[in-house]
Amino acid sequence: MNVLIVDDEPLARERLSRMVSELEGYSVLEPSATNGEEALSLIDSLKPDIVLLDVRMPGLDGLQVAGKLCERETPPALVFCAAPDEFPLEAFNDSGVGHLVKPVRPELLLEALKKAERPNRVQLAALTRPAAESGNGPRSHISARTRKGIELIPLAQVVYFIADHKYVTLRHEGGEVLLDEPLKALEDEFGERFVRIHRNALVARERIERLQRTPLGHFQLYLKGLNGDALIVSRRHVAGVRKMMQQL
């Protein structure tokens, strides 16, 4: 089996190359790829059976590479390599795509290579695309690119989405992240769990605490997890919010 290694760290590439070369039945393809763009080019030219793919890389990261491979008829088998804090392991487990935790242990590498199979579109979509596009229902996590790498926020921890120009701010139990997704697309995908309270805001239904009218006649919505802060409810959405709260 021919294996292509994709990692932006030279020491990581050398270590993986050495470990794979010591395994019977596996050969390392040269050159290795140092980023996502090189990976796609080398996959086209070298036709690897398996790709050991780093998740966090500059430019196209591992998940973006996987997303592009998802569009191909016969993508190679993928085994993602990620540091423990770069990507929640349950996301890999749920998708069925192979993964290894850095630093990679030789015995786990062999096990992952033996189990590697060509990923189908459903598997890759679970990691790389909104489920609304892939036809598998709403996602269980929202992915965001931050300075830490790729963060997955469980949907159950999301308090609200607020649109601001071209980005959407996602507020969750641990802080905030920016998303490059339209608010309307998020509403279409998660409409059963979120309610629109303003043209630029969606809030989690289960987080709603109380709706209160201010002395000036405005309406504010208090949410669990905001430490007393409130969001403005536009007049056109007040009736809908009230009706929804009566059904909670």
Q: Which of 79, 103, 128 is the last residue of a domain?
A: 128
Structurally, the chain folds into a number of domains equal to 2
Asked if 49 and 166 sit in the same domain, the reply is no
Q: In whole angstroms, what is the distance from residue 217 CA to residue 213 CA?
A: 6
Asked if 238 and 151 sit in the same domain, the reply is yes
And the tokens for 194?
């979120």
- Domain-located, residue 229: yes
Q: Kindly state the average pLDDT of the residues 26-32.
A: 95
Asked if 204 and 118 sit in the same domain, the reply is no
Asked if 197 and 229 sit in the same domain, the reply is yes
Asked if 14 and 79 sit in the same domain, the reply is yes
Predicted pLDDT at 97: 66
- Domain-located, residue 135: no
HSE-up of 92 (CA within 13 Å, CB side)? 21
Residue span of the structural domain in which 105 resides? 2-128
Contacts of 79 (CB under 8 A, 6+ apart): 50, 51, 52, 53, 98, 99, 100, 112, 113, 116
* pLDDT range class, residue 44, cuts 50, 70, 90: very high
Q: In whole angstroms, what is the distance from residue 79 CA to residue 51 CA?
A: 6
Helix axes 10-21, 106-115, angle to 10 degrees: 70
* pLDDT range class, residue 90, cuts 50, 70, 90: low
* Mean predicted lDDT score pLDDT of the chain: 84
Q: Which of 80, 102, 128 is the last residue of a domain?
A: 128
Predicted pLDDT at 57: 86
* pLDDT range class, residue 67, cuts 50, 70, 90: confident
Asked if 112 and 33 sit in the same domain, the reply is yes
* pLDDT range class, residue 77, cuts 50, 70, 90: confident
DSSP one-letter code for 190:
H
Asked if 193 and 172 sit in the same domain, the reply is yes
Predicted pLDDT at 61: 84
Asked if 105 and 159 sit in the same domain, the reply is no
DSSP 112-174: HHHH--PPPHHHHHHHHS-HHHHTS-S-SEEEEEETTEEEEEEGGGEEEEEEETTEEEEEETT
Q: In whole angstroms, what is the distance from residue 150 CA to residue 138 CA?
A: 19
Q: What is the CATH number of the domain that holds 165?
A: 2.40.50.1020
Asked if 10 and 118 sit in the same domain, the reply is yes
pTM value is: 0.52
CA distances from 79 to 20, 62, 98 (A): 13, 10, 5
- Domain-located, residue 15: yes
Asked if 117 and 222 sit in the same domain, the reply is no
Most confident of 4-8, 81-85, 210-214, 227-231: 4-8
Asked if 201 and 97 sit in the same domain, the reply is no
Q: Does residue 30 have a pLDDT over 60?
A: yes
Asked if 17 and 123 sit in the same domain, the reply is yes
User: In what side-by-side order are the strands of the sheet with 158-164?
Assistant: 175-179, 167-172, 158-164, 201-204, 194-198
